[in-house]
Amino acid sequence: MEEQDWAGVVAAATRAPSIHNTQPWRFVARDDRVELHLDAARALPVLDPTGRQQVISCGIALEFAVVALAAAGWGAETELLPDGTGALGVIRLTGPVPADDEARALAAAIDRRHTVRTPFAARAVPAELLDRLQAETGRFGTWLKPITRSEEEVATVFLISRAEEMEQGDPAYLAELESWLRTDPAAEDGVPVGAVPEGDPHERASNWLIRDFVAGQREPHAFRAAGDPDAPPPEVERPAVVLMGTEGDDREAWLQSGRALARVLLRVTDAGLVASPLTQALDWPATRTRMQSRLSLVGYPQMLLRLGYPPDRADGPAPVVSGRRPVADVLRFEPAG
């Protein structure tokens, strides 16, 4: 492939979501392959000291590149953590292949996908879609568990709320979070203020607490007791919430969960749904371990995701889409020889 062809593939790859939109990746392309490397300069030492969530983000980008290649008529094979390269993954071309309708549909979903943090429409996620997502993630050695039982929901909601409380009480976390919040709508990275719903997330009609990106700018909040059996049940949003995890908990497992997540996000987008992460309880080792225990998980939780239909556009403005770094800043091309 020519340099301009790889630039198109990498442009699709960089549409991947990443923790705080840090875009922690670098690409090196040659005629017949592209390598993906972790950009350590974009680390989150407070929120993500092991790099787990950033490696997951890179796994999503890797799979977006595979999807883009398939839609462009290229077969490819992916190797994770190839020896002697320092790369997280390498995609090698195996030759031209006919692009089918499914490949084109998934590739078209790359540009349409975006994180929606506002409440979803009151419409149930089809069970057959969740079944398909479970089958798809299994191809990457990753499991997907819908949170459907009431005791699982109560436990998960409590752990999210507890983790959010711990994070909002940590000045270093708040400083790091604020450093990735962007007021310039033309910013190339970080989370744009316009993409963050107005109002305190604790006051929205939902059991599921989204991350508060402006927590450090609010008055101290008295956290509600999530899951309190004596509290009257509020009228709440009821999205589908799914937990994704892996048998292991190393870089290969993180990459595989990212690749599986990429497929989930594109399938969801193609079906007309949207998603947003609920990862606070997975940020902290203590709450992540408690989730393993409370939900009797076999393996390690890697991603908690909220799925649903988008709100009616008539109820508000169009969603704000996070910026992306120019391809020239993240791609280096090395000619053969």
What would the pLDDT profile of 176-197 be if each residue is shown by its tens digit? 999 999 999 899 999 999 888 8
User: Any idea of the CA torsion for 35, 75, 53, 291, to the nearest 10 degrees?
Assistant: -150
Asked, for residue 61, whether it belongs to a domain, the answer is yes
CA distances from 98 to 108, 110, 319 (A): 16, 20, 35
pLDDT of residue 207: 82
284 plus 157 within the same structural domain:
yes
Cα 291 to Cα 154, 157, 297, distances in angstroms = 11, 10, 8
User: For residue 197, what pLDDT is reported?
Assistant: 83
Closest CA to 142 of 263, 266, 278, 253: 253
Q: 256: helix, coil or strand?
A: helix
| Residue from 263, 275, 222 nearest 110 by CA | 263
pLDDT digit string, tens, across residues 239-295: 899 999 999 999 999 999 999 999 999 999 999 999 999 999 999 999 999 999 999
CATH number at residue 67: 3.40.109.10
Any bridge partners for residue 115, and if so which?
275
Residues 78 and 161 in one domain: no
| Domain-embedded: residue 222 | yes
pLDDT at 314: 59
- 3-class secondary structure, 33: strand
The letter for the amino acid at 82 is P
The pLDDT of residue 202: 82
Question: Which whole number is the average pLDDT over 215-229?
Answer: 56
One domain for residues 230 and 269: yes
Residue 15 three-state SS: coil
Q: State how beta strands 181-182 and 240-246 pair.
A: unpaired
**pLDDT (tens digit, 9 = 90+) per residue, 123-180?**
899 999 999 999 999 999 999 999 999 999 999 999 999 999 999 999 999 999 999 9
Position 224 scores a pLDDT of: 46
> Per the domain annotation, does 118 fall within a domain?
no
Judge whether residue 236 has pLDDT over 70: no
- Average pLDDT (71-92) is 96
Number of domains in the chain: 2
Confidence class of residue 219 from pLDDT cuts 50, 70 and 90? low
Q: Is 37 helix (H, G, I), strand (E, B) or coil?
A: strand
Instruction: Please check whether residue 122 lies inside any domain of the structure.
Output: no
Given a contact cutoff of 8 angstroms between Cβ atoms, the answer to whether 246 and 300 are in contact is yes
Contacts of 194 (CB under 8 A, 6+ apart): 185, 320
Nearest to 226 by CA among 199, 210, 211, 207: 207
3-state DSSP assignment of residue 95: strand
Provide the percentage of residues in the chain whose pLDDT is more than 70: 92
Nearest to 302 by CA among 44, 25, 53: 53
pLDDT-derived band at 220 (thresholds 50, 70, 90) equals: low
Give the mean pLDDT of the chain: 91
Whether residue 69 is contained in a domain is answered as yes
**Do residue 226 and residue 97 come from a single domain?**
no
- Asked if residue 121 belongs to a domain, the reply is no
Residue among 52, 71, 61, 72 nearest 34 (CA)? 61
In this structure, the answer to whether residues 150 and 240 fall within a common structural domain is: yes
Q: Among the listed ranges 37-51, 92-106, 301-315, which one has the minimum average pLDDT value?
A: 301-315
Same domain, yes or no, for 166 and 289? yes
Q: How confident is the model at residue 234 (pLDDT cuts 50, 70, 90)?
A: very low
Confidence of residue 336 (pLDDT cuts 50, 70, 90): confident
Q: What pLDDT band is residue 203 in, cutting at 50, 70 and 90?
A: confident
Q: Determine which helix (DSSP H) or strand (DSSP E) holds 128, and give its type and residue range.
A: helix 127-138
Place of tokens 């704000």: 320
**What does the buried/exposed string (b/e) look like for 271-287 if buried means 16 or more CB atoms within 10 Å of the residue's CB?**
bebbbbbbbbbbbbeeb
Answer yes or no: is 208 within a domain: yes
Residue 97 and residue 26 share a domain: yes
pLDDT of residue 16: 98
Claim to verify: residue 186 and residue 87 sit in the same structural domain: no
What three-state secondary structure class fits 64?
A: helix
Domain containing 231 equals 127-315
